[in-house]
Amino acid sequence: MSLTSLITAEEGYPALEQLANGAREELLLSFRIFDPRTRLRTPELLDQGLKTWADLLRLVARRGVRIRIILSDFDPQFTSALHRLAWSSASGFATAVEGDVQILCAPHGQGAGMLWRWLLHFKIQRSVRTLREEDPLRLTPIQRKVLSSSTPVLRPVTLHQKCAVADGEDCVIGGLDVDERRFDTWDHDRPAEQTWHDVSMRVTDEGFAASLRAHIADTWNAAIACDAASLAQRALPMDTSVRPQGTTQLRLVRTFSSPCKGFTVLEPHARIREHEDVLINALGQAQRSIYIETQFLRHKPIADAMAEAAARAPDLQCIVMLPAEPDRVMFDGERGWDARHAQSLQLRALNIVRDGFGDRAAFVTPARPVRARKDGPSVFGADPIYVHAKVTVIDDNFALVGSANLNGRSLRADTEASVLFRDHDAVAELRRRLAEKWLSDAAEGTDITRADLWRSEAAANAALEPEERGSFVLPFPFKRLRKFSRPIPFLPSDIF
């Protein structure tokens, strides 16, 4: 068994490229975003004249490797840009790669019930008018179908996982998608809107690889059953007769839901809720420390479990790393009711955790030691670093890294995959590397599990001018969150 942490795309992209290039018989790829135009970063591949992922997969297919790619599709009206990117990416791979290659552009099969289509009637009509104003040549087949239908299907959830398996033995799994937007370095030496902190794991283990392969097969077959668009060769079902089981030391953790219908239905039926169950169980056993990096912490059952753990273990420490705001708020200027409701769920969850832990908790957010532009986003006057990682480390014997955020959408609705490992050395190494990334050199040799270390360094940085700060970490801006949040009680929390 081998476990290697991959922090930011600077480490994650070359590892994924090497996994694909090393495939001998089979390569399975399941990603939310995977752009064939993404530039390669591995020097050995560049020396061969390869430039993009399309070039790399063309080479791999020519060797006779069986390739299966499942790309997430999105709602064609409300997330038109992502929907078009999914179709252009799938068709780009299909055009470039010849051989035993099957590609699915796959929405989750869940659609919104009639009640929600009625409530969103005016928003739907505006989006239809926008599509009608587009150049018809830019519309996807799905968007053209929307324009010819009187009852468009709304897609409230997605396939959110990001993982790959080569030859049933080598895997990359985490939160990182593949395109130029998501490439970032350890030092985040990029403008704020281009930063993207993420974490993945490279796992070499036949048992884990078999479990992940079976999960991708489940995802693939469910997509075919929901009439996902098949590009390249006709997509055929994958064999799922072998159902390998993980171990307590290393296992796959999943969220998997099934479409359901009904007048009031919005979210799907949660068939597999392993992320939620595993996390609540692990939090219930925490003794010394909880360290979390997540894009969202909105799920009340997780917050309640953390508060209960704080009450049970009097010296339990908690460190939570979050982006200052969601990317669509921070970078896109989104101010709609859905964004405000989502942030109200986060405020509720964070208040539960903060009340439970008191001064044993640190809530922090990262920013570059560079003064923010006047017209750009800022955190304490500095360029924010966007946190997209999904990491939970508990004590010295539990780490979970994958695609699932701590919100209802990831834990009950979207399709998600993560790796849980308990190897003490691997857990300690992941914790150490993340602390090394965020904290200053002065923290070396201190107890990185103590909340007061993170809280005091964040406060010290906030008191300095951006250029004078010795590390990335800053206090999480609760005041900004409270000002923006607006709860809407009738909205279900499991899709936010």
Q: Is residue 238 assigned to a domain? A: no
Return the pLDDT at 257.
Answer: 95
Return the pLDDT at 246.
Answer: 83
Q: Is residue 240 assigned to a domain? A: no
| Complete edge-to-edge strand list for the sheet that includes strand 199-204 | 2-7, 199-204, 170-174, 162-166, 26-31, 66-72, 101-106, 229-232
Q: Is residue 78 assigned to a domain? A: yes
Q: Is residue 285 assigned to a domain? A: yes
Name the pLDDT band for 59 (thresholds 50, 70, 90). very high
Return the pLDDT at 312.
Answer: 97
Largest CA distance in the chain: 65
Q: Is residue 195 assigned to a domain? A: yes
Q: Is residue 143 assigned to a domain? A: yes
Indicate the range of 4-18, 27-41, 133-147, 412-426 predicted with least confidence.
133-147
Contact partners, residue 156, CB within 8 Å, separation at least 6:
75, 110, 111, 112, 116, 266, 267, 413, 495
Q: Which residue has the tokens 């200053």?
A: 440
Q: Is residue 237 assigned to a domain? A: no
- What are the respective helix, strand and coil percentages of the chain, to the nearest 5? 40, 25, 35
Same domain, residue pair 352 and 228: no
Same domain, residue pair 188 and 291: no
- Quote the pTM value: 0.96
Report the alpha-carbon distance of residue 202 to residue 2 in Å, rounded. 8
Q: Is residue 147 assigned to a domain? A: yes
Range of the domain at 389: 250-259+267-495
Return the pLDDT at 448.
Answer: 97
Same domain, residue pair 222 and 279: no
Same domain, residue pair 321 and 198: no
Same domain, residue pair 145 and 23: yes
Q: Which residue has the tokens 């799994």?
A: 173
Same domain, residue pair 97 and 215: yes
Take residue 437 and report the two structure tokens written for it. Answer: 């990334």
Same domain, residue pair 301 and 427: yes
CA angle centred on 272, ends 230 and 74, rounded to 5°: 35
Task: Count the domains in the chain.
Answer: 2
Same domain, residue pair 276 and 209: no
Same domain, residue pair 195 and 117: yes
Domain of 25, CATH number, reads 3.30.870.10
Same domain, residue pair 441 and 336: yes
Indicate the range of 134-138, 349-353, 371-375, 389-393 predicted with least confidence.
134-138
pLDDT digits (tens, 9 = 90+) for 421-480: 999 999 999 999 999 999 999 888 899 999 999 999 999 999 999 999 999 999 999 999
Query: What percent of the chain has pLDDT above 70?
Result: 100
How many Cβ atoms sit within 10 Å of the Cβ of residue 370?
16
pLDDT digits (tens, 9 = 90+) for 265-315: 888 999 999 999 999 999 999 999 999 999 999 999 999 999 999 999 999
Closest alpha carbon to 83 in 129, 142, 147, 150: 142
Same domain, residue pair 342 and 395: yes
Residue 263 has pLDDT above 90, yes or no: no
| Displacement of CA 404 from its chain's centroid (Å) | 6
Same domain, residue pair 215 and 255: no
Name the pLDDT band for 388 (thresholds 50, 70, 90). very high
